[in-house]
Structure 1
Amino acid sequence: MTHVVLAFDDNRLVGDLFGQFDQNLAIIEQRLGVDAVARGNQVTIKGMHPACEQARHALESLYVRLQQGHEIHPADVEGALRMAAAAEAQLTLPTMESKSRLAFAQVSTRRKTVVARTPAQDAYLRAMDRADLVFGTGPAGTGKTFLAVAYAATLLERGDTARLILSRPAVEAGERLGFLPGDMKEKVDPYLRPLYDALYEMMPPEKVDRGLQSGMIEVAPLAFMRGRTLSNAVVILDEAQNTTAMQMKMFLTRLGENSKMIVTGDPSQVDLPPGQSSGLREALALLREVQGVAHVAFTEVDVVRHELVARIVKAYDDASRKASEQRELAASVNEGREALAWERRRADR
């Protein structure tokens, strides 16, 4: 057992750091099993040494965010604790400047600043800066699509790219929607709604609308990409697990000069018809060693939605793993039986 006393200079920021009714300190207590008692601009943390250090790292990094003019919310506290845990484990990530201070990767537009909340999110944002083609794969709720759109919107606002192109394959998720009324835009918009949602959260609605009208921002189904060369653009393909191998090859070969591509998807949620393999899985296998390609894999620990989502994802992953192990065991037993039968037939001869 140990205790750590932290003092913060700016009394105006301390209230936001500790949270209303010290709710941020309560989150830290619950997650790390420590006691955090605030008095004025000081907080005393008591508990096991590793947990106290993680609490210190988290509070110091959150205080830096407040000094930079950003707001913090309970979800940001959760993210700071994840990053602090990664630092304590001495993970070799580019975010780690030192054990005493964590640097979060972030992207900013005039409307919003988005900060990485997990080590995988941090690596993802930095990979988008570093590589021209980035794959982000993992379960729902890990921020794959939102961070990609946020990064692209940042480049567009800074003038670092001329166009933003968002695309998804128009595949029904296990349902038959039948005939959809309206023109082509009205027919495909339901499939592309998550991309619109992320875009409107990062940029003022009037600017998004102007961009859509001028063609500076384009939201289109994957089929519309064929035959094009996408230059001076950031191109995002969402739900890529629902592309076929031919569609994925077609999309990847659209990459033009001064462009970046970001491909996101969850290989465990393929909605393609039976017998069709996912183009995302094939691309990940084929391009693993190709220079200029980066792949960041998210897991259930990176889920930043409701904490119940992480438990749901883990339950499904555990069930899938058990089913796979049972299939392998059954196959092994069958092989043993076939070998034994062959030996008996040979002995009878």
Structure 2
Amino acid sequence: MTKTETLQLDDEVAVDLAGHHDEVLDAIRERAGCDVNLRGNELTLSGDDWAVDRGQQLVTELIEISKAGTPLTPQVVQVVEVGAGLRSNVPLPHTGTGSGSTSARTERGAPAAAPSSPEPIPEAVAVNRAPAQRREAQQQHSKPKSQAGHRNTFPSTEPRAEGERPNAKSVFTDVVLTHRGKSIGPRTAGQKNYVDTIRENSITFGIGPAGTGKTYLAMALAVEALVERRVARIVLCRPAVEAGEKLGFLPGSLLDKVDPYLRPLYDALYDMMDPDRLTTCMEQGIIEVAPLAFMRGRTLNDAFVVLDEAQNTTPEQMQMFLTRLGFGSKMVVTGDPTQIDLQRGQTSGLNDINVILRNIEDIGFAQFDQSDVQRHRLVQRIVAAYQTRKESQDEAAGA
């Protein structure tokens, strides 16, 4: 059965829906599987019943996003399609708090190919905060008990059922931080899921390929927490494993020697804070960027702590780091298991945590895939190619 549906659009929405050289309409046609034609303010969808229904649902959500102030692009169409559950072979993100809290995606098939020419999604224009009405029982269950004088004051989000996708509109209206007119927030459903998981848990593990915003979004949440005085300081650290025993041959003090390995963290901070204020905060110890080795023996209270490149930690280092957590603090651990630089024979601490810590209350997991990559479009394809090769090797090893 075939059918035709016609939608009347506002002037601004019609222009936005067309996109540059009809790129948004082309993306809708490709993902809905029906003919989509725009004449003036009239949008017509025609084709098989299921395809037209699919296209109408997709367009309806895009109209809401456009009215909220987010410009439409092909990548917005992709995220809306995933968030609306229109693509059956897309892995589902999970979010939860409490025992066994996870936000890992459950594989239901091979990830669909990325659009041929994705573009960066324009920054969101509104702030999405936690709903005023939260489930009191869920809030009490998900928040850690604190000593007197210490209270978890981080904003939360309305809990979603396991397997439920983030609402597509909420992806684009969640602004974590705004600096110099630039809004920083999630750009994919996976990133939105990650941000929500950090807000809901004291410790969060963000695991996935390079370019998915794991570290950048965690640091944005850290700066936001500092600005809003929910924490007293920020601690950012990385293992300097690439240096090995060659550190002693580099000029300068120990901090000078490890500085190149911490430079990406500095770069991200300069995107989020004014240089003068950042310098002052670092001089006063409010923001600390240090090698992982400097964490031993410390207790980090009222702090937002981020461990980057965690795949290059040993199990002993990972245990040492996680036990630094103090009262009123949050920890975010990020890493890519496919980019381990440890010496041959050494086990990565990131590979153990999924089994050891999976069922502990107030610990969350967020899994990214190539659809969350926000770099050059070739990066998505490179990540997918390496993932395919790894899966083939795993199958051969298990045969």
TM-score by length of 1: 0.79
Deviation at 1:228, TM superposition (A): 1.4
- The DSSP-based 3-state class of the residue aligned with 1:165 is strand
Q: How many residues were matched structurally? A: 328
Residue 238 of structure 2 corresponds to residue 168 of structure 1? yes
Asked if the contact 1:174–1:271 (Cα under 8 Å) also holds between the matched residues in 2, the reply is: no
Asked if the contact 2:237–2:308 (Cα under 8 Å) also holds between the matched residues in 1, the reply is: yes
Match of 2:278 in 1: 208
Amino acid in structure 2 at the alignment position of 1:103: S
Deviates more, 1:92-101 or 1:34-43: 92-101
Counterparts of 1:130 and 1:275 in 2: how far apart (Å)?
A: 36
User: What is the RMSD computed on CA atoms of the aligned residues?
Assistant: 3.4
Match of 1:332 in 2: none
Residue 268 of structure 2 corresponds to residue 198 of structure 1? yes
Residue 391 of structure 2 corresponds to residue 321 of structure 1? yes
Counterparts of 1:235 and 1:320 in 2: how far apart (Å)?
A: 31
Counterparts of 2:36 and 2:82 in 1: how far apart (Å)?
A: 18
Given candidates 305, 308, 321, the residue that maps to 2:375 is 305
Counterparts of 2:58 and 2:247 in 1: how far apart (Å)?
A: 46
Deviation at 1:55, TM superposition (A): 4.6
Given candidates 98, 103, 109, the residue that maps to 2:170 is 103
Asked if the contact 2:45–2:52 (Cα under 8 Å) also holds between the matched residues in 1, the reply is: yes
Counterparts of 2:244 and 2:26 in 1: how far apart (Å)?
A: 41
Match of 2:105 in 1: none
Asked if the contact 2:313–2:350 (Cα under 8 Å) also holds between the matched residues in 1, the reply is: yes
- The DSSP-based 3-state class of the residue aligned with 1:268 is coil
Asked if the contact 1:107–1:150 (Cα under 8 Å) also holds between the matched residues in 2, the reply is: no
Asked if the contact 1:237–1:263 (Cα under 8 Å) also holds between the matched residues in 2, the reply is: yes
Amino acid in structure 2 at the alignment position of 1:38: L
Amino acid in structure 2 at the alignment position of 1:118: T
Asked if the contact 1:181–1:187 (Cα under 8 Å) also holds between the matched residues in 2, the reply is: yes
Q: Which runs of 5+ in 1 are unaligned?
A: 330-349
Given candidates 199, 213, 219, the residue that maps to 1:149 is 219
Tell me: CA distance 1:284–1:85, structure 2 relative to 1, closer, same or farther (3 Å). same
Counterparts of 1:252 and 1:98 in 2: how far apart (Å)?
A: 29
Counterparts of 2:259 and 2:48 in 1: how far apart (Å)?
A: 52
- The DSSP-based 3-state class of the residue aligned with 2:364 is strand
Deviation at 1:43, TM superposition (A): 2.9
Counterparts of 2:317 and 2:68 in 1: how far apart (Å)?
A: 44
Asked if the contact 1:238–1:263 (Cα under 8 Å) also holds between the matched residues in 2, the reply is: yes
Counterparts of 1:198 and 1:287 in 2: how far apart (Å)?
A: 29
Match of 1:36 in 2: 36
Given candidates 311, 328, 332, the residue that maps to 1:241 is 311
Counterparts of 1:186 and 1:49 in 2: how far apart (Å)?
A: 65
Amino acid in structure 2 at the alignment position of 1:21: H
- Whichever structure has more helix as a proportion of its residues is 1
- The DSSP-based 3-state class of the residue aligned with 1:38 is strand
Identical pairs, percent: 44
Match of 1:134 in 2: 204
Amino acid in structure 1 at the alignment position of 2:28: I
Deviates more, 1:19-28 or 1:120-129: 19-28
Residue 220 of structure 2 corresponds to residue 220 of structure 1? no
Asked if the contact 2:93–2:193 (Cα under 8 Å) also holds between the matched residues in 1, the reply is: no
Tell me: CA distance 1:264–1:92, structure 2 relative to 1, closer, same or farther (3 Å). closer
Match of 2:194 in 1: 124
Residue 25 of structure 2 corresponds to residue 25 of structure 1? yes
Amino acid in structure 2 at the alignment position of 1:141: G
Q: Which runs of 5+ in 2 are unaligned?
A: 95-159
TM-score by length of 2: 0.70
Alignment of 1:76-87 (within 5 A): 76-85=76-85
Deviation at 1:299, TM superposition (A): 2.4
Alignment of 1:6-85 (within 5 A): 6-9=7-10, 11-12=11-12, 14-49=14-49, 51-53=51-53, 55-71=55-71, 73-85=73-85
Counterparts of 1:136 and 1:194 in 2: how far apart (Å)?
A: 17
Tell me: CA distance 1:220–1:36, structure 2 relative to 1, closer, same or farther (3 Å). farther
Amino acid in structure 2 at the alignment position of 1:238: D
Alignment of 1:260-279 (within 5 A): 260-279=330-349
Query: What per-residue deviation string (whole Å, max 9, x for no partner) do you get for residues 150-173 of structure 1?
Result: 222222222222222211111229
- The DSSP-based 3-state class of the residue aligned with 1:141 is coil
Q: Which has the higher contact order (CA 8 A, sep 6+)?
A: 2
Counterparts of 1:31 and 1:198 in 2: how far apart (Å)?
A: 34
Match of 2:326 in 1: 256
Amino acid in structure 2 at the alignment position of 1:126: D
Query: What per-residue deviation string (whole Å, max 9, x for no partner) do you get for residues 4-60 of structure 1?
Result: 434344x34543443233333233334544443333344333455555555545544
Counterparts of 2:209 and 2:165 in 1: how far apart (Å)?
A: 30
